[in-house]
Amino acid sequence: MAERRLAQAAGLMDGTLIQGRPDVAVRRYNIDSRLTAPGELFFAIVAERDGHDFIPQAARAGAAGAVVSRDIAPPGADFGLIRVEDTVRALQRLAGRVLAGRPIRVVAITGSAGKTTTKEIAAALIATRHSVLKSEGNLNNHLGLALSLLRLEPGHDTAVLEMAMNHPGEILALTRIAPPDLAVVINVHPVHLEFFGTVDNIARAKREILDGAKPGATAILNGDDPLVRKMAEGWRGPVVTFGFTDSCRIRASRVETKGADGMDFDLAYGEDRVRLRTPFLYDSFLVDILAACGAAYACGIPAENLAGPIGRFRACAKRGSVLRLGREVGLVDESYNSNPRALEAALKGLAGLPARRKVAVLGDMLELGSEAPAFHAEAGRQAARSGWTLLVAVGPLSRRAAEAAREEDGTATEIASFDTADQAAAAIPDLVRPGDLILVKGSRGMKLEKVVESLTARLKEG
């Protein structure tokens, strides 16, 4: 961890130690009083809730001190207090300066979908030759990125980080904390249209990862995505492209689906060619694998190091993980998020798997702006065309998907609709039959993990 004395930490964040012993060592940093451990430094972040109100709880949990931006009553005589103008800026400044003081290669990953999966695979591949710090879970915003960097250990030589956004300028701000040596752009999809208006605007915001990269940094770009490929225009550093077309440096071909066992594919990896197997069930995940291989290639990882990590990798929780339940029911949990392209890929990719029935539990795709009804209608038509037997719509927008599915194929697709995830979670276990394959996918705000929890509780294997 980034161990510092309280006085040193205060100096790095341009703060003033107003109480506490200057020589007290701090190795861990936190913004959530519920998760605070003994000896940590607590940052009182002011957002929807004011972190200053939770300093007493952090102190009771054993925090060594807190970073504050206003006067508070000290919770104890020995409790350290560092005063700053803005606690968010202080956290970011501390993380950025800790990183700047180390010879660390930064691999930064962005895209409309697949960031966490790409990050996890890239970290596993690069770790075959390097000591890697990776951001945990989806810590990819202005707070999470800084907290991830403050976990740097002395032996780390590479940091693999996600960079996310839902407004212009956010990725550029993240690159000021951690300027990339390798900048990976997976894709540009119609997400956050409510805030951006057009997909071109989304692409411009994603390109900020290149705008904020170090001089001479390597751009790792999806060569099959026109909006991503265009980012190479005017780029003066090296470019590594990935995809399925012949022009890509990192390329997949001869993809063979193996049912529940995943997929086999040939990988062109620079001048090398290898045959690989992945346990992922549909080929949209291959884009994430190729992006990760692009990062590994730029880090000098040899082709022979790829098969093991890729073959062992399992989808991250709520991002395509496969659960085997009782009554021979298979559940594909994509409850973390959804967007039109990703949903289409899941509906098509899973359609060919063997199952007595295929059940799509679809929650609303949020932040799509005025195009939302059209996107949901197309999702319903896609479900019908792909042969999904039962479509369970959760939320008002997904009702439009259900209506479109019915319009597409008459009564071939059964329909059930619910207003909320709680309602769906209560009813869906009774709709499931032995041998079903179930896809659960929706935007994070729809809380479809409740459906997954209900199904796993009611259909425990055995």
Domain boundaries defined on the chain: 4-85, 102-312, 321-458
Q: Cα-flanking dihedrals φ and ψ of residue 235, to 5°?
A: -80, 130
| Mean pLDDT along residues 21-46 | 94
CA distance 191 to 356: 33
Residues 179-194 have pLDDT tens digits of: 999 999 999 999 888 8
DSSP 211-273: HTSPTTPEEEEETT-HHHHGGGTT--S-EEEEESSTT-SEEEEEEEE-GGG-EEEEEEETTEE
| Mean pLDDT along residues 138-150 | 86
Residues 162-182 have pLDDT tens digits of: 999 988 999 999 999 999 999
CATH code of 321-458, in short, is 3.90.190.20
CATH code of 4-85, in short, is 3.40.1390.10
Among 6-15, 137-146, 345-354, 373-382, the least confident range = 137-146
pTM, two decimals, is: 0.92
CA 180 to chain centre: 18
**First-last CA distance in the chain:** 43
Identify the pLDDT of residue 462: 42
Is pLDDT at 294 greater than 70 in this prediction? yes
Which strand (E) or helix (H) includes residue 191? none
**Diameter of the chain measured on Cα atoms:** 74
Residue 398: which residues within 8 A CB-CB, separation 6 or more? 362, 363, 364, 376, 417, 442
Of 55, 38, 40, 180, residue with least CA distance to 119: 180
Please give the structure tokens belonging to residue 132. 């890697």
CATH code of 102-312, in short, is 3.40.1190.10
CA distance 93 to 176: 9
Residues 234-250 have pLDDT tens digits of: 999 999 999 999 999 99
What is the share, in percent, of the chain residues with pLDDT greater than 90? 86
Is pLDDT at 138 greater than 80 in this prediction? no
| Mean pLDDT along residues 265-288 | 94
Residues 106-128 have pLDDT tens digits of: 999 999 999 999 999 999 999 99
Is pLDDT at 461 greater than 60 in this prediction? no
